[in-house]
Structure 1
Amino acid sequence: MKSDQHTSTLISDAIFSAASICPEREAIIAPGRRLTYSALSKRIEALHIELQKHNIRPLEKIAWADVGTSHFVELLYAIGMSDAVGVPLHAGAPSEEWSMHCELCDVSTIIVPAAFMQKGQEIFARDARLQRILLIEEHNDKPVLTLLHTRERKEEHDETNKSEPGDAIILCSSGTTGRPKAIVLTHRNLLINQASLIQYMHITQQDRLLVSKPMIHSSTLIEVLSLLQAQGSIVLSPWLTARGTLAVIQREECTMSCIVPAMARELLSVITPGSEQSLLLRALSVSGSPVASQLLLDLSANLPHCGIYHAYGLTEAAPRVSALLPHELHQHSRSVGRSIPHVKVCIVDANDQPVPLGQIGELIVCGENVMRTYYGNPVETKKALRAPGLHTGDLAYIDEQGFIYLQGRIDDLINCGGQKVYPLEIEQVLLNHPAIAEALVQGQTDERLGCIPVASVVPVAGQYLEEQSIRAYCQLHLAAYKIPRHIAICTALAHTPSGKVQRRRQITESVSNVK
């Protein structure tokens, strides 16, 4: 198997290369299991053989759930080796969501552990297009696949539902603004983005990555793949508390972790500068949703020996697009950094024409990391993949040094009496308030101005918030027309399974509560 990320053709090539170069190095540390690269390669090969036994054909779509074990990673590689296409499912999602994703991606086979047999059977009974359900279990310390249910599959001839050689995985978008899209990423997309992460984060064989986010999300997935590509180690410890995170970092001597803002806030509440855990970590990456610049600066102050990275991406870009590097943080804390290696970005206007530096427009991404298609959705594919590249739907500007500053989604732009109001700008101000944990800004219809900004905020645990004090804080940091006309103080905001705020759903839930 080839080991170079530029010449490999399958993401699994890296595992077999590592098994020949460093067979006894630990690859995966998971609950109840520690695997060297040699052991991991053998388990992947065993699952590949199992898939062939069950007559899995090239380009079939195979769904399986992330339950925080080594099985998720093993199946990801084995499915790719079999020239099939993986469709990961969120373990905590209801069976209706599993069914929707299976339908969206034209799944033929679902693989479940024993704990999810009932959910798999419910889906099989509901969707007549599913061909088989397989149970994954251990036998003599080896993964095996047992057939639970099977039936003849009716062949369909819809030309929009076609996978192509090289397709690796289909990830369903988080659905923050509506029905999810099925995003097809190729082995090449993933390999290129892995190479980018390895380069800008300086990932080596000595690194040990703590993985506490669900692996079905593209940001976690590329982090896991990158560490294994670099022959490092991954430590799977899902659903950890902040103190639990510190304990695992210390026990497993983790050098890296990648977290979302909510996890970063929790970590700040328990980390002690100069502690053993803080000295072990050399890199901490924060991504996944809007991040308060003050949160990044606080992390840097409390973890002086650890490089703080702020990353931006989207699943359609496999997913990483830009990163703010540790030495850039203090001067550019409000930026999501510059484009990473192998990725190019530009800003265009409503006519898809380039705009001058500093002018706000739509952020465009170009590179071999860009998805192949939205599965079964040629209309949306054509909208997203038109010249000059991937249209992200994100508003941004780029300064003279190449730093990207996000301004929010195009669909979220508020036209307030002829003035453009960018919700993300206001949200970032609110998130810098020491007593606000989460913030959401939306437009509300207004007879006089057409649309006005309104906000929903969630206080930090144990903190008391008043609308008047929040408004006074906004007056210090925002122009008058950008200050939310109403501010609802909520106990929680609605989230997608990936932890992002569900903006469209929140419009009906929180704005209706504004008085």
Structure 2
Amino acid sequence: MVNAVQNIWRHADANPDHVALRVDRRSWSYGELRAHARNAARELAGRGVTRGDRVLIMLPTSAEFVFVYHGVLALGAVAVTVNTLCTPREIDYFHSDAECVLAVGCPDTRDALLASSDRPAWIVEPDSLVAARTPVDNAMTYVEADPVDAAVLLYTSGTTGSPKGAVLTHGNLLACGRSLSQIQGLEPEDRVGTALPLFHVFGQASVMASVQHAGAALSLLRPFDAVQMLDMAVSHRLTMMAGVPTMWNEMLHADTPITADDLPDLRYFLTGGAPLPHAVRIEFETRFGARVLDGYGLSETTGAATGQPLAEEPKEGSVGRAVPGCQLAILGADHQPVPAGEIGEVAVQGPNVMREYWNRPDATAAVQSGPWFLTGDLGRMDEDGDLWIVGRLKELIIRGGYNVYPAEVEDVLYRHPAVVECAVIGIPDERLGEEVAAVLVLQPGHDLDVAQVRTWLGERLASYKVPRVYHLRDALPKGSTGKILKRAIDVDDVAQHGIRTRRSDSTKATA
């Protein structure tokens, strides 16, 4: 029998004064973290929450989130963590679909949560759970759960149909923390910082669960700001930072004098959520002096599927190998493994894979093939087991019968000195079926000769992969973690207003 909070309890017993959590200039030890989680559990129990109940949590990344979340898990209840920007309609859907008995929010989310008068809600006031240094009370421990019992419901983005709740178990969360802390070499002396939202699997499981498995310290920043993130790395003497590619890119272009000399303790940058362009990786490592470790995971794999082995030099573009306890495969259309080096669908099996989609047996069956979870991502794997992600099955561009993988084109575009951000998409084309289009954000003050860019790309990519359409934007749409949302890009707008090139074109665009 287990519980996903057991690592906090274990470290609170063994080393109660060791720092577990930092937010700004405040910190809480493992003993205090356990005590505050117990306080939250008592409050939840007083409001009728019992084992197996679902509790909707609509709290920002904060100490309050950490305490309430672990209070829910300690009771054996299920945390349904959602974006604080959700509208009343979205909250109604999550609350109804998960059959929640209580919603927990804060003053900023009060109005949205209370829009439905029949929804029981607990509004956590600032510092209400953390103002006092609560003495450690051994009278209350956690509920013993089965490893397959639900601990968290994480709703997927719902790009097709209504969002689905991925059921992550107590065993999933513990396996994630164990495997990632092992592959990252996390120790109790480590200090890990992030601005990732904790309602999302990356911040909640990949970062927080692995830090707690090791008994290390977690520093939180909200909202993300490139300068403030680097300032936190200096003031908290971080040894690791976790984020997504857009965060690293913004830090590279931040107006700050901080360099590697100011970060003597920093060893690793943990990146995931989307492919990290090689050019950004090299420039980031050069400027800030720490190694970038790439990884790959989904909500359905508790945020953990691969990681970079510390003892080896990473292979360019690879997201590493299967984390301890997991297995990977590249499957063809017949769901059989393909030879090393060939592209197919990435499949995962192991203790990190979700139990099911909540109340969706058909959707669950659709992502299973024997023991394998089908990710919907396209990738290739070499004979050493190193994995490269080349795109989503649904993002694959088929141009005149040729397969174009957007991630490959984007990686090359990021090496162009005028490009800050980019997204490569397919747009309808009467002759070819689809045409390759690049949506670009330029460095301030830069102009772009798209014919020159096309020639530049042609020297680095096969001709059928080179975009023929270029569309400039001031910014690209992003999700809550900072990941670029291609589905939010208006394909018709790109097709109508993008600059179309031919070999004889000489057209300049200005940021």
TM-score for the superposition, normalised by structure 1: 0.88
Q: How does 1:65-214 map to 2 (within 5 A)?
A: 65-122=58-115, 124-125=116-117, 130=119, 132-137=120-125, 138=128, 141=131, 166-175=149-158, 179-214=162-197
**Alignment of 1:390 onto 2:402:** no
**Alignment of 1:288 onto 2:278:** no
Residue equivalent to 1:64: 57
Contact 2:391 2:405 (8 Å CA) reproduced: yes
Does 107-116 or 36-45 show the bigger shift?
107-116
Q: 1:10 to 1:227 in 2, by over 3 A?
A: same
CA deviations over 1:231-268 (Å, ceiling 9, x no partner): 11111222243222222222222111101112112222
Aligned counterpart in structure 2 of residue 303 of structure 1, from 288, 291, 296: 288
Q: 1:348 to 1:397 in 2, by over 3 A?
A: same
Mapped partners of 1:439, 1:239: distance in 2: 23
CA deviation after TM superposition for structure 1 residue 57, in Å: 2.6
Residue equivalent to 1:262: 246
Contact 1:208 1:253 (8 Å CA) reproduced: yes
**Alignment of 1:44 onto 2:28:** no
CA deviation after TM superposition for structure 1 residue 327, in Å: 5.8
Residue equivalent to 1:158: none
CA deviations over 1:180-203 (Å, ceiling 9, x no partner): 321110010111111111111111
Contact 2:59 2:104 (8 Å CA) reproduced: no
Mapped partners of 2:248, 2:130: distance in 1: 40
SS of the residue aligned with 1:108? strand
Q: How does 1:416-431 map to 2 (within 5 A)?
A: 416-431=399-414
Mapped partners of 2:241, 2:221: distance in 1: 11
Contact 1:15 1:228 (8 Å CA) reproduced: yes
Q: 1:327 to 1:510 in 2, by over 3 A?
A: farther
CA deviation after TM superposition for structure 1 residue 329, in Å: 4.8
Mapped partners of 1:178, 1:286: distance in 2: 29
Mapped partners of 2:259, 2:288: distance in 1: 6
Unaligned runs of 5+ in 2: 135-145, 500-511
Q: 1:363 to 1:207 in 2, by over 3 A?
A: same
CA deviation after TM superposition for structure 1 residue 288, in Å: 1.4
CA deviation after TM superposition for structure 1 residue 142, in Å: 5.4
Residue equivalent to 1:22: 15
Residue equivalent to 1:344: 327
Q: 1:329 to 1:241 in 2, by over 3 A?
A: farther
Aligned counterpart in structure 2 of residue 276 of structure 1, from 262, 267, 279: 262
Number of aligned residue pairs: give it: 482
CA deviation after TM superposition for structure 1 residue 113, in Å: 1.8
CA deviation after TM superposition for structure 1 residue 338, in Å: 1.3
Mapped partners of 1:421, 1:333: distance in 2: 19
**Alignment of 1:312 onto 2:296:** yes
The code of the aligned residue for 1:259 comes to G
CA deviation after TM superposition for structure 1 residue 164, in Å: 10
SS of the residue aligned with 2:452? helix
Residue equivalent to 1:251: 235
Contact 1:176 1:502 (8 Å CA) reproduced: no
CA deviation after TM superposition for structure 1 residue 464, in Å: 2.7
Q: Calculate percent identity across the aligned residue pairs.
A: 27
Mapped partners of 1:327, 1:455: distance in 2: 37
Contact 1:203 1:227 (8 Å CA) reproduced: yes
TM-score for the superposition, normalised by structure 2: 0.89
Residue equivalent to 1:513: 497
Residue equivalent to 1:153: none
CA deviation after TM superposition for structure 1 residue 214, in Å: 0.9
The code of the aligned residue for 1:141 comes to A
SS of the residue aligned with 1:438? strand
Contact 1:176 1:503 (8 Å CA) reproduced: no
CA deviation after TM superposition for structure 1 residue 102, in Å: 2.5
CA deviation after TM superposition for structure 1 residue 72, in Å: 0.7
CA deviations over 1:47-85 (Å, ceiling 9, x no partner): 112211111132211011232221111111111111111
The code of the aligned residue for 1:244 comes to Q
Contact 2:12 2:30 (8 Å CA) reproduced: yes
Mapped partners of 1:196, 1:422: distance in 2: 30
Q: 1:101 to 1:433 in 2, by over 3 A?
A: farther
CA deviation after TM superposition for structure 1 residue 508, in Å: 4.2
Mapped partners of 1:35, 1:426: distance in 2: 45
Mapped partners of 1:303, 1:104: distance in 2: 45
The code of the aligned residue for 2:22 comes to I
**Alignment of 1:454 onto 2:414:** no
Mapped partners of 2:474, 2:351: distance in 1: 42
The code of the aligned residue for 2:352 comes to N
**What is the root-mean-square deviation of aligned Cα atoms in Å?**
2.3
Residue equivalent to 1:148: none
SS of the residue aligned with 1:312? coil
Contact 2:54 2:101 (8 Å CA) reproduced: yes
Unaligned runs of 5+ in 1: 1-7, 145-162
The code of the aligned residue for 2:121 comes to I
Mapped partners of 1:209, 1:384: distance in 2: 33
CA deviations over 1:63-111 (Å, ceiling 9, x no partner): 1123222111111111111111101121233333333333333323101
Q: 1:348 to 1:36 in 2, by over 3 A?
A: same
SS of the residue aligned with 1:442? strand
